[in-house]
C-alpha cells in the first residue's frame, strides 16, 4: 500500500509540473513533451493494478480514495488553487488511457482561462477523451464586484504579494529557485490582475510598512507584463520580462537588510553601498543566470541608468540601456508615483503623465514612453473621474488615438450604465480624478465596476 501511496503522491507532483509546462511552453516544446511523458508513465503504472485512478480536492486538501495528503497539499498549494479556480473538483483516469488523450487534456486544462467579460470561466475540453473525466465546472460570473468578490480580489492580491516576497527571499537567502514554479506563479498573477493597475490601487490599501516594497514590485511586474503583451511580445518573452521586473531591485532589498534598517547615521562607505545597489543586484543575480537567465541581471544593473545615461552606475561607453531595462524603469516610476507612501501621497493620473513626459528623452526613450501612455491612457481604466458637466464617471476604456478622451460610464447621478465616448463628444471632458480614498471613495461601491481584462495568452 505504501508503494502505491507514494506513486499517487508522485502523480500529483507530475500533474503540477505538466500543467505548469503546458502554460509556459508551446505544445511541441521538448520540455512540455518531457513532463507529459513522465506523467503518462506514472499513470500507466498506477492503472496496471486498477480500473480507475481518482485524484481530487477535499476541503482544500489533495485526496486519493480515503487518503488526505496534508503534507503534499502545503507543497502543491499552487495546483490546488489552480484546480479550484478552474472548478475542477476531481480528475478520473481509467485503463486504456493514451498519451494523446493525456496530452490533449493537459493542454486544455493549462490553457483554460476567463473567456471574456460576463462569460463563464472555461474548463478543460473533454470532447473525445474516453479515458479521462473531470469534475463539474461551476460558473463564476465576474461582471460585477460584490462585497464578497471584492474581498476575494483583495485576498488574491495579497496572496500574490506573499508569492513575490517568497520568490525574492529565495534569492536573498541564496536558495535554489524553481524556475518552472516561478513562471507558473507569474502566469497566474498575470491572469488574475492583467490590466487592472488602477482598480487595484482603488481597492488595496497597504498599511504594513514591510509589505510596501513587495506590493510595489508586484505592481511593476504586472505593468511590465501588460506593457510587453500590448507591444506584441511573445508569451515566453512576456514572462521573461516579468521575471526581470520582479528581481530588478534585489540589490536594494539586500542592502535594506544590511544597512537601510540600521539605526543612526550611515557611514560614507555605507552610503556608497546604497548608491551601488544596481551593481550588488547584478552580482547576486549572476549566481542565478542558469535558472533565471541573463535578463534579470541586466535589468538590475541598468534600471537607474536613464535613457541619456545620466543616472548610475556610470559607464565608460555610450551604449543605450537594454529595452527591458527601459520598460521596467517606466513602469517602476509610474507605480512609485501612483502609490501612497508614508512620506508622500499618491499623484493623480494627469500629474503622473505631466511629470513623466517632462523626462521624455532624458530618463525615458520618447517613443517607448508614448507607447506606454497609449496603452494605459492619461486616465487609466478604473479612474473615478469628475466630468466638466458636474457628473461623475468611471473610465471603462482607453482611447489610444486620444489618451485624454477615454470611454466613461456615468455613475452619478445614477444613469443605468450610460457610457460616453469622450472622443466623440467635443463638449464634455474630464476635469480631474477623484481620490479613491477620499472624495471618490463613495463611488467605489458602484455595482458595475470594470470587469477583468482578458489576458493575451
Domain count, the chain: 3
Give how far the C-alpha of residue 14 lies from the chain's centroid of Cα atoms, to the nearest Å. Answer: 24
How many whole angstroms separate alpha carbon 346 and alpha carbon 327? 21
Residue with the larger pLDDT of the pair 331 and 199: 331
For residue 441, name the pLDDT band (cuts at 50, 70, 90).
Answer: confident
Q: Are residues 116 and 178 in the same domain?
A: no
The three three-digit cell numbers of residue 256, written as one number: 535594506
- Rounded mean pLDDT of 25-49? 92
Q: Are residues 340 and 429 in the same domain?
A: no
Q: State the pLDDT at residue 143.
A: 35
Q: Are residues 409 and 283 in the same domain?
A: no
Q: Is the pLDDT at 345 greater than 50, yes or no?
A: yes
Query: Are the C-beta atoms of 173 and 216 separated by less than 8 Å?
Result: no
Residue with the larger pLDDT of the pair 100 and 144: 100
For residue 448, name the pLDDT band (cuts at 50, 70, 90).
Answer: very low
- Rounded mean pLDDT of 285-310? 94
- The reply to whether 453 falls in a domain is no
DSSP 300-335: HHHTTS-TTS-SSS--SS-PPPPHHHHHHHHHHHHH
Query: Are the C-beta atoms of 22 and 111 separated by less than 8 Å?
Result: yes
Residue with the larger pLDDT of the pair 70 and 326: 326
Q: State the pLDDT at residue 75.
A: 84
- Of 104, 134, 164, the one marking the end of a domain is 134
- The reply to whether 213 falls in a domain is yes
Query: In 10 A of CB 82, how many CB atoms?
Result: 21
How many whole angstroms separate alpha carbon 400 and alpha carbon 422? 12
Q: Is the pLDDT at 176 greater than 80, yes or no?
A: yes
Query: In 10 A of CB 350, how many CB atoms?
Result: 16
Q: State the pLDDT at residue 142.
A: 35
Mean pLDDT across the chain, nearest whole number?
Answer: 84
Q: Are residues 393 and 427 in the same domain?
A: yes
Q: Are residues 18 and 156 in the same domain?
A: no
Q: Are residues 128 and 152 in the same domain?
A: no
* Residue 181 DSSP SS3: helix
Which percentage of the chain shows pLDDT scores above 90?
Answer: 48
User: What is the span of the domain harbouring residue 91?
Assistant: 2-134
* Residue range 376-425, pLDDT digits in tens: 999 999 999 999 999 999 999 999 999 999 999 999 887 777 899 999 99
Q: Are residues 192 and 231 in the same domain?
A: yes
- The reply to whether 351 falls in a domain is yes
CATH number at residue 368: 1.10.3210.10
* Residue range 247-263, pLDDT digits in tens: 999 999 988 776 655 55
* Residue 408 DSSP SS3: strand
For residue 164, name the pLDDT band (cuts at 50, 70, 90).
Answer: very high
* Residue 413 DSSP SS3: coil
Determine phi and psi for 245, rounding to 5 degrees: -65, -40
Q: State the pLDDT at residue 181.
A: 87
* Residue 392 DSSP SS3: strand
Q: Are residues 240 and 371 in the same domain?
A: yes
Query: Are the C-beta atoms of 120 and 140 separated by less than 8 Å?
Result: yes
Q: Are residues 360 and 388 in the same domain?
A: no
Q: Are residues 253 and 368 in the same domain?
A: yes
Q: Is the pLDDT at 123 greater than 60, yes or no?
A: no
The three three-digit cell numbers of residue 421, written as one number: 465616448
Q: Is the pLDDT at 145 greater than 80, yes or no?
A: no
C-alpha distance from residue 262 to each of 25, 255, 269, 271, 281 (Å): 44, 10, 14, 12, 20
- Of 346, 376, 406, the one marking the end of a domain is 376
- The reply to whether 456 falls in a domain is no
- Rounded mean pLDDT of 265-290? 84
Q: Is the pLDDT at 211 greater than 70, yes or no?
A: yes
Nearest to 323 by CA among 364, 361, 280: 364
Q: State the pLDDT at residue 28.
A: 87
- The reply to whether 139 falls in a domain is no
For residue 451, name the pLDDT band (cuts at 50, 70, 90).
Answer: very low
- The reply to whether 410 falls in a domain is yes
Q: Is the pLDDT at 139 greater than 80, yes or no?
A: no
Q: Are residues 259 and 346 in the same domain?
A: yes
Q: Are residues 96 and 187 in the same domain?
A: no
- The reply to whether 10 falls in a domain is yes
Q: Is the pLDDT at 1 greater than 60, yes or no?
A: no
Q: State the pLDDT at residue 140.
A: 33
- Rounded mean pLDDT of 92-116? 82
Residue with the larger pLDDT of the pair 393 and 452: 393
- Of 134, 160, 186, the one marking the end of a domain is 134
For residue 119, name the pLDDT band (cuts at 50, 70, 90).
Answer: very low
- Rounded mean pLDDT of 147-171? 87
Q: State the pLDDT at residue 266.
A: 67
Query: Are the C-beta atoms of 298 and 305 separated by less than 8 Å?
Result: no
- The reply to whether 452 falls in a domain is no
* Residue 132 DSSP SS3: strand
Q: Is the pLDDT at 344 greater than 60, yes or no?
A: no
Amino acid at each position: 500500500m505504501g508503494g502505491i501511496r507514494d506513486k499517487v503522491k508522485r502523480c500529483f507532483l507530475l500533474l503540477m509540473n505538466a500543467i505548469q509546462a503546458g502554460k509556459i511552453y508551446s505544445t511541441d516544446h521538448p520540455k512540455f513533451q518531457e513532463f507529459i511523458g513522465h506523467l503518462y508513465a506514472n499513470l500507466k503504472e498506477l492503472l496496471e493494478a486498477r480500473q480507475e485512478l481518482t485524484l481530487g480536492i477535499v476541503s482544500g486538501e489533495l485526496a486519493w480514495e480515503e487518503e488526505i495528503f496534508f503534507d503534499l497539499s502545503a507543497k502543491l498549494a499552487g495546483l490546488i488553487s489552480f484546480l479550484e479556480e478552474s472548478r475542477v473538483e476531481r480528475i478520473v483516469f481509467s485503463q486504456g488511457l493514451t498519451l494523446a488523450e493525456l496530452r490533449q487534456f493537459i493542454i486544455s486544462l493549462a490553457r483554460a482561462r476567463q473567456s471574456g467579460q460576463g462569460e463563464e470561466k472555461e474548463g478543460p475540453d473533454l470532447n473525445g477523451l474516453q479515458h479521462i473525466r473531470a469534475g463539474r465546472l461551476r460558473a463564476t460570473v465576474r461582471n460585477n464586484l460584490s462585497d464578497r468578490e471584492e474581498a476575494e480580489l483583495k485576498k488574491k492580491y495579497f496572496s500574490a504579494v506573499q508569492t513575490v516576497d517568497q520568490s525574492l527571499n529565495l534569492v536573498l537567502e541564496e536558495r535554489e529557485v524553481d524556475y518552472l514554479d516561478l513562471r507558473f506563479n507569474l502566469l497566474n498573477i498575470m491572469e488574475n490582475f492583467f490590466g487592472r493597475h488602477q482598480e487595484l490601487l482603488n481597492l488595496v490599501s497597504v498599511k504594513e510598512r514591510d509589505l510596501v516594497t513587495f506590493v510595489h514590485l508586484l505592481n511593476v511586474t504586472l505593468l511590465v507584463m501588460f506593457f510587453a503583451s500590448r507591444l506584441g511580445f511573445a508569451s515566453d518573452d512576456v514572462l521573461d520580462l516579468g521575471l526581470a521586473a520582479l528581481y530588478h531591485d534585489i540589490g536594494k532589498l539586500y542592502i535594506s537588510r544590511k544597512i537601510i534598517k540600521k539605526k543612526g547615521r550611515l557611514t560614507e562607505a555605507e552610503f556608497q553601498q546604497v548608491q551601488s545597489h544596481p551593481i550588488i543586484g547584478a552580482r547576486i543575480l549572476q549566481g542565478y543566470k542558469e535558472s533565471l537567465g541573463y535578463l534579470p541581471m541586466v535589468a538590475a544593473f541598468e534600471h537607474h541608468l536613464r535613457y541619456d545615461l545620466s543616472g548610475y552606475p556610470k559607464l565608460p561607453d555610450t551604449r543605450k540601456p537594454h529595452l527591458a531595462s527601459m520598460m521596467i524603469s517606466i513602469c517602476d516610476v509610474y507605480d512609485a508615483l501612483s502609490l501612497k507612501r508614508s512620506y508622500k501621497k499618491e499623484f493623480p493620473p494627469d500629474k503622473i503623465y505631466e511629470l513623466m513626459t517632462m523626462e521624455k528623452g532624458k530618463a525615458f526613450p520618447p517613443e517607448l514612453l508614448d507607447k506606454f501612455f497609449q496603452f494605459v491612457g492619461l486616465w487609466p481604466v478604473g479612474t473615478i473621474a469628475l466630468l466638466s458637466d458636474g457628473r461623475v464617471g468611471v473610465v471603462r476604456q482607453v482611447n489610444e488615438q486620444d489618451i485624454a478622451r477615454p470611454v466613461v460610464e456615468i455613475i452619478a447621478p445614477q444613469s443605468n450604465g450610460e457610457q460616453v465616448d469622450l472622443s466623440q463628444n467635443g463638449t464634455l471632458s474630464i476635469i480631474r480624478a477623484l481620490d479613491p480614498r477620499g472624495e471618490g471613495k463613495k463611488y467605489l461601491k458602484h455595482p458595475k465596476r470594470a470587469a477583468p481584462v482578458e489576458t493575451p495568452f
